[in-house]
Structure 1
Amino acid sequence: MTITRFPLARGIRFLSTPRVAVIGSGPSAFYTSLDILKYDIPVEIDMFEKRPCPFGLVRFGVAPDHPEVKSCQERFQDASKDKRFQFFGNVEIGKDIKLRELYENYDSIVFAYGSNKENRLNIAGEDHPAVINSKDFVGWYNGDPQDQDLNPPLDKVEEVTIIGNGNVAMDIVRVLLAPPEHWKDTDIVPGALETLQRSTVKKVTVSARRGFLDSKFANKEFRECLEMDKYGVRFTGWGADLFGDSLKTTKLGRIEKRRLQLAEKYCVAETEGKSWKLDYLKTPIGIKVDSKDPLLLKETIFKKNQITPAGKIEPTNKLASVSNQLLILCIGYKGEALAEFEELGIPFDVQRGAIPNKEGRVVGVEQTYCVGWIANGSRGSINSTVADSSVVAHSIVQDLDKLPQSKGHGREKVSKLLAERGVNVVDWSNWVKIDKAERQQGRKFTDFDSMLSVSNGPES
C-alpha cells in the first residue's frame, strides 16, 4: 500500500524542509507520522525508539490470539517506503542523544512514548513476588526481553485473582485457562507456552471496585473468554446476587444489554474443573502470605463496597477474602517525564502521568506535541489512537507554516552524533533483517542481543 498524499491548505508554504522528531514507535507514533506524510509537503520525519524493534504495544501488548489487531503493523511499514521518513532504533533519548540536541536540530518534537509505569494499590504486601503487574505478565508471554525473567509459578498455583477488569484482564484470563492448543498458531513465545503447559491453574477471579455495568472490558473480549466453554472452561459467576433486580430495572443501552445477555447465557454453577468468574464491589486492602510456602499467597482481603441511590460507590465496614496463591494487577499505567523535561521547561502532570496539551500541542512550549497514552493517560484503543493522531498531525503541519526557516540539520547531524558515540543504530533495513529472521525461525527474539546480532549481520 502506498501513502495517498493530500494537498495542504491554501496559503501554506515552506521556505525550507521542516524536520520533525517523533519519540516512540507505537501506534500513536506511526499513525501521526503517516498522517503527516499524507500532506504533500517537503518534510523529514525521524522516529526514535529505545528498543531495536518498532511497534511498541502492538508487538508486546496485544494478545497472541488477536492477530487482526496486530495487522496494523503492515500499515505502519508504509512509512518506511517514504524517503521522508527514517527510523532510529536502539536509540534512547537522554542516554544516546540528549533531548536538548533534538530541539537544536528539529523544528517539531512529538512525544509518543506511551505509559510504562504501573499504577499501584498502595497496600501492605504489594511487593510480594506472587503479586505481578499485568505489564510484566503480558510482556512475558509476548516476548518482551525486559520481562523474560518473570517466571510466574503457575505450576504451583491453582487459584489466581486479577484486580481490574479491562480488556487486558480478559486477555490474561484466556492465557491462564485456555488449553495449549488454543495458542499453537499464535506468536506466543515458546518459553511462556511451556510454562502454561505445566500450569495447574484451575480458578481465576476477576475483581473490580465498581459494578457490573461499569466493567471496563469490551463485549468482544468478554465473549472470547466466555467461549472458552468449548474447552470445558466454565464461567461461574458475575455478581448477580450483589445487584438483585436492579440490573433488570435499570435502563440499559445496547452494549450493556448484550453484556448482561452474555453473562446470563454462559453462567453455570461452581464446578470442579477450570473456571473463572467476575467479582464486583470490592476494594483490595491486604494480602496474606501462605505460611507453608512464603513465595506464594494465601488470600487477598477486600473491603466490600455498595452502590448508593445516586449511583456512586462507597465503602462499607464489611470484609471479604478471596483464596488465591497469585495476584495479578490490571489497574493501568502512568507515563513518566523524560529526564530533561524540567530543565527544558516541558510541563508534566505527575498525578495523571501525562503531558498537559490542547489538541496535541504541549501547553506553554512551542513546536512541541504529544500523542497517545503520554498525552491522554493509559486509555483508549488503537481505533481511538487513529483519530487522535490525525488531529495532532494536522496541528503539527499547520504550525510548521509559522516557521520562517527550518533550524538545525536534523537526521544528518543526529546520525553523525550517534556514529561518533558508537551507538549501534537499527535503521529500517536492519529491522527488516530482524523481522525476516524471526519469521524464518517461527518465533520472536526474546533478548536484545540476538536482535542486534542479526541487525549487524549480513543479509540472509
Structure 2
Amino acid sequence: MWLPLVRRYSTRSSGPVVGIIGSGPAAFYTAHRLFRNDPSIKVDMYEANPVPFGLVRYGVAPDHPEVKQVDHKFSEIANSSQFRFLGNIRVGKDLPLSTLSRHYDALVYAYGASSDKILNIPGEHLRGVYSARQVVGWYNCDPQHQDIGISLPHLKDLVIIGQGNVSLDIARIMLSRPEQLSPTDINPLFLQQLFQSALQRLHIVGRRDLTSVSFTIKELRELFSLSSAMFLAPEYTSSLSFLSEQALGTFDRARKRLIKLIQSNIQAAQQRNSTTSTQQKPSKFWGLEFGLTPIEILGRNGQVDKVRFQKTETVRNESTSPSDFVEIPAQAVIRSIGYKSVPLPGMQELGVPFDMTRGVILNNEGHIGPGMYASGWVKNGPVGVISSTMMDSFATADKLYKDWLAQEPFLIGTRAGWDGVRHTVNTPVVSWEDWEVIKKHEIENGLRHESVGEKFRTWEDILRVLHK
C-alpha cells in the first residue's frame, strides 16, 4: 500500500492549499467555510463533469427553482481569487489520486453519491425497470440519462418503490400538466412526451406503515394540490390503521402534522362520493400504499408487467399464504430507495478507508487521516436536504482549519495545487469562465421555448460550445 507522506509545520504563516473533489453543495459549502475561516486559503475544486453543482443541477425538480437559487451563493464563492474550478476531470482516472496528493496540503472528498441502491429481487433486470436517478436525470437533461427508454405515450400504470422526497418529485412531475412545466428548464424532449402521456394510475409504495414515510410535508402538500390528478385511498394496503390524538402525541410536531395530513386525505378519499361524474374527474390517479415489501418484478416478453409484493408484517414468518401477497400492474417501475457513494480509483493505495456496505468513507467528524477529509454524502451517506448538507460541510471545514492551526500532520505537498498537476491531464479542462459561457448559451436556448433555460443534453455539445 502506498501512503502519502505527511508533515507537521513548525510555522504556518498562511492558510493551506486544499483540493476539493466534487462540486455539489457539500463541496461549495466546504469551500465557503474555509474562506470564512481564513481568506488566505487556496481551493482548487475538481469535477468529473464539464459543469458544476451536482444534484442541484441534475437532481432538483425543475418546478422547484427556488431550491436551485443556492447556485448564486456558489457563484460568489467561485469568483474568489483564491478559487479555481476544474471541470471535466475524473479524479482517479484522468488524474491519479496519488499525483493529486503530492501537490496539496489537504484533500477533501465531497463528490456525493454517484450510484444507486438496488432491490436485489428477481426481475429487476427487466425492460421498464429504472432507478430514480435515471428518471430524474432524464427530465433534468443529465447527459448520462438521455436514452433510458421510457415511453410515456405507452405507459398506463407506474409503480414507484420508495416513499422519500425523490419519489414524490417524480410522481408530481409525471402527473403535472405539461403547460405548467414548460416555463422551467425541464428537458423539452421529456415535455413532448408528457403532452402525449397515457399515464392513468401511479402507485407510491413503501415497506413500512404511514408513520414511517421519509418524505416531508411540503412535497406531500404539493402532490395533494395537483389539479391534474386525483388522490385515491390505498387499494392494496390490507391493514391500514389510523392513529388517535393520544398516539400522535408520541411524535414530534413536524411528524405529527405529516401523519395527520396523510390520514385526513386518505379518509377523505375513502368517503368521496363514488357516483361523481367521470367528466368531473381527472384522467390521472395516484395513491400511497403502505406495508408492502417488493419480492419480484414480473414480466411478459422481457418487459415489466406487474410487481409482486408481500405484506411486510408477514415477511419474517416466511409466509406462503396467497392472502399475504399482492400484485400491482405496471408497465414501468421506478426504484427510489436511495443513492450510494462508490470509492474513487486509487483510494486504497492512499489508505482511504471505504465502507462498501454503507457506501461511505470512514471518518471521525470528517477527518480521514493526515491531510484528508470527507464532506457531505460520501461522509455520512445520502441523508438530509441542502440545509443539513451545509451544516455538515461547515463542520468538516472547521475541523480541517482547527487541525491546521493545531499543527496536526498534513500532506507533504509542493503546495503548487493545479499548477503542479496540469501537465499530467490530457482531457479538455473546463474553467469557471467556461462554465459562464455554457450557462449563457443555455439561457439563450431557453428563450426559444419561453423558458428560463434549456440545458445541453450531451457532454459533446457542451465542449463544442467551448471549442474544446
TM-score (norm 2): 0.87
Question: Structure 1 residues 313 and 110, CA, compared in 2 at 3 Å: closer, same or farther?
Answer: farther
Q: What amino acid does structure 1 have at the position aligned with 2:241?
A: G
- Helix, strand or coil at the partner of 2:225: helix
Which blocks of at least 5 consecutive residues in structure 2 are unaligned? 1-9, 275-280, 447-453
Q: Distance in 1 between matches of 2:318 and 2:204?
A: 19
State yes or no: 1:357 paired with 2:355: no
Within-5 A mapping of 1:36-47: 36-47=34-45
Within-5 A mapping of 1:116-155: 116-155=114-153
Which residue pairs with 2:353 in the alignment? Answer: 347
Question: Structure 1 residues 67 and 344, CA, compared in 2 at 3 Å: closer, same or farther?
Answer: same
Which residue pairs with 1:251 in the alignment? Answer: 248
Correspondent of 1:107 among 91, 105, 108: 105
- Helix, strand or coil at the partner of 1:357: coil
Question: Structure 1 residues 247 and 169, CA, compared in 2 at 3 Å: closer, same or farther?
Answer: farther
Structure with more contact order per residue of length (Cα contacts < 8 Å, sep ≥ 6): 2
- What is the number of residues matched between the two proteins? 434
Question: Structure 1 residues 225 and 361, CA, compared in 2 at 3 Å: closer, same or farther?
Answer: same
Q: What amino acid does structure 2 have at the position aligned with 1:96?
A: D
| 1:33-77 Cα distance to aligned partner (Å, 9 max, x none) | 001011234221000001110000000000000011100000001
Which residue pairs with 2:379 in the alignment? Answer: 375
Q: What amino acid does structure 1 have at the position aligned with 2:77?
A: A
**C-alpha contact (below 8 Å) 2:131/2:335 kept by paired residues:** yes
Q: What amino acid does structure 1 have at the position aligned with 2:455?
A: K
| 1:323-346 Cα distance to aligned partner (Å, 9 max, x none) | 111110001011111111111111
Question: Structure 1 residues 441 and 222, CA, compared in 2 at 3 Å: closer, same or farther?
Answer: same
Q: Distance in 2 between matches of 1:106 and 1:433?
A: 29
Q: Distance in 1 between matches of 2:53 and 2:318?
A: 41
Which residue pairs with 1:297 in the alignment? Answer: 304
Select between 245-254 and 20-29 the one with higher mean Cα deviation.
Answer: 245-254
| 1:64-104 Cα distance to aligned partner (Å, 9 max, x none) | 00011100000001112211111100111112211011110
**C-alpha contact (below 8 Å) 1:304/1:315 kept by paired residues:** no
Within-5 A mapping of 1:293-332: 294=301, 296-306=303-313, 317=320, 318-332=324-338
Q: Distance in 2 between matches of 1:315 and 1:114?
A: 37
How far off is 1:399 after superposition?
Answer: 1.6
Q: What amino acid does structure 2 have at the position aligned with 1:237?
A: A
How far off is 1:158 after superposition?
Answer: 0.6
Which residue pairs with 1:6 in the alignment? Answer: none
How far off is 1:367 after superposition?
Answer: 1.3
Q: Distance in 1 between matches of 2:364 and 2:410?
A: 25
Which residue pairs with 2:83 in the alignment? Answer: 85
Q: What amino acid does structure 1 have at the position aligned with 2:360?
A: A
Select between 203-212 and 446-455 the one with higher mean Cα deviation.
Answer: 446-455
State yes or no: 1:284 paired with 2:256: no
Which residue pairs with 2:180 in the alignment? Answer: 182
Q: What amino acid does structure 1 have at the position aligned with 2:325?
A: L
Q: What amino acid does structure 1 have at the position aligned with 2:373?
A: Y
Which residue pairs with 1:388 in the alignment? Answer: 392
- Helix, strand or coil at the partner of 2:360: coil
Q: What amino acid does structure 1 have at the position aligned with 2:375?
A: V
Which residue pairs with 1:94 in the alignment? Answer: 92
Q: Distance in 2 between matches of 1:438 and 1:189?
A: 12
Question: Structure 1 residues 43 and 286, CA, compared in 2 at 3 Å: closer, same or farther?
Answer: same
How far off is 1:416 after superposition?
Answer: 5.7
How far off is 1:170 after superposition?
Answer: 0.3
| 1:336-363 Cα distance to aligned partner (Å, 9 max, x none) | 111111111110111100011111111x
Q: Distance in 1 between matches of 2:216 and 2:256?
A: 13
Q: Distance in 1 between matches of 2:60 and 2:316?
A: 31
**C-alpha contact (below 8 Å) 1:161/1:205 kept by paired residues:** yes
Question: Structure 1 residues 148 and 245, CA, compared in 2 at 3 Å: closer, same or farther?
Answer: closer
How far off is 1:246 after superposition?
Answer: 4.1
Which residue pairs with 2:440 in the alignment? Answer: 436
Question: Structure 1 residues 56 and 40, CA, compared in 2 at 3 Å: closer, same or farther?
Answer: same
**C-alpha contact (below 8 Å) 2:46/2:87 kept by paired residues:** yes
